[in-house]
Structure formats: structure tokens, C-alpha cells
């Protein structure tokens, strides 16, 4: 019986200075603790256990967010990348090139969940785009690193 070799699951920061890969992911979660809210600058922290993660380009900077945990981020662009305790490393789900590889399956630290969180999906959605906004969007040139590994960083001037 032939076994397929596990695929590298890659990701990194917004600017491309720090990249990672992993093959063996554990449980994806949404953490509602206040430290995750602040670390991600959002309503929660989306994380997945990564049993074999490796940094493949650059090294993140670390912030000791408590006596029990530290958090990794890109020192150039600030992207949150990881959370580490004595139990192991968890990677930020949104930092994966394909975040769908790590869907959250559990919510944790519910005492800090923001009271409006459960109602977010029922908010009205704006689907019409004004001409002014369309023009604005058409003029945007992204400096974000592409969602795949690249040979060089930073990207050579004039290339996409």
C-alpha cells in the first residue's frame, strides 16, 4: 500500500520577510482571551496547533505576553504569526497561504468573548460598489507578499 507524502502547508507574514512550513497540524481554534484580541488587533485569535512547524525565511520577533506564553510576529510588517507555550507552538490561521487548511473546530476562553461576536454574521452586507469606490479599488497596487513561497525577498522592483 503506497502512502502519499504529506504536503507542506506554507505561510508567512504580509511582507514576506518571515515564512514558515508545517505538515502536521492539530486542532484549529478561535481564542477569545483578551491577550489574543490585543495580539491580533481583532475580536479573537485564530490559531492552529503545529506539531512540526519550521521557519523557512527569516525569524519572527517574540513578545513574552505572559509568564506562560510568548507570541511571534514579523518585525518588519507586524503580522501576528504564532503563539507558544510549554505545550507547543500554534500558528496564526490567517497567516497560512491557504487558511482553509486549518478550519477552527473549537472556541476557547469564552469568558472574554466580546458580547457582539455572535451577531456579526447577521449584520447587513454592502454589495453595491459606487463608481468612486470602484475607481479607488482599481488604483490599488498591493505590496503584499503572494500566497506562495518565492525564491527572493523582497520582491524585485517592478515584478508582481
Q: Where are the domains positioned within the chain?
A: 19-113
User: If you count them, how many residues does the chain have?
Assistant: 160
Question: Looking at beta carbons, which pairs linking 9-12 to residues 24 or more positions away fall under 8 Å?
Answer: 9/96, 9/97, 9/98, 9/101, 9/102, 10/56, 10/96, 10/97, 10/148, 10/149, 11/91, 11/95, 11/96, 11/97, 12/57, 12/74, 12/79, 12/81, 12/95, 12/97, 12/145
Instruction: Specify the fold of 19-113.
Output: 2.170.150
Local confidence pLDDT in tens for the 160 residues of the chain: 555 556 899 999 999 999 999 999 999 999 999 999 999 999 999 999 999 999 999 999 999 999 999 999 999 999 999 999 999 999 999 999 999 999 999 999 999 999 999 999 999 998 888 989 888 988 888 888 888 998 877 765 655 5
Q: What is the pLDDT of residue 133?
A: 86
Amino acid at each position: 500500500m503506497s502512502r502519499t507524502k504529506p504536503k507542506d502547508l506554507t505561510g508567512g507574514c504580509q511582507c514576506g520577510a518571515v515564512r514558515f512550513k508545517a505538515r502536521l497540524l492539530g486542532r484549529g481554534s478561535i481564542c477569545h482571551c483578551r491577550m489574543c484580541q490585543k495580539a491580533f488587533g481583532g475580536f479573537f485569535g485564530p490559531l492552529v496547533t503545529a506539531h512540526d512547524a519550521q521557519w523557512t525565511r527569516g525569524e519572527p520577533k517574540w513578545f513574552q505576553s505572559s509568564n506562560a506564553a510568548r507570541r511571534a510576529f514579523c518585525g518588519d510588517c507586524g503580522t501576528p504569526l504564532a503563539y507558544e507555550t510549554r505545550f507547543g507552538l500554534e500558528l496564526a490561521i490567517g497567516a497560512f497561504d491557504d487558511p482553509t487548511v486549518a478550519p477552527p473546530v473549537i472556541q476557547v476562553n469564552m469568558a472574554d468573548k466580546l458580547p457582539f461576536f455572535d451577531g456579526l454574521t447577521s449584520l447587513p452586507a454592502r454589495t453595491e460598489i459606487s463608481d468612486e469606490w470602484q475607481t479607488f479599488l482599481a488604483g490599488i497596487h498591493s505590496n503584499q507578499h503572494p500566497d506562495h513561497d518565492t525564491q527572493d525577498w523582497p520582491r524585485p522592483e517592478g515584478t508582481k
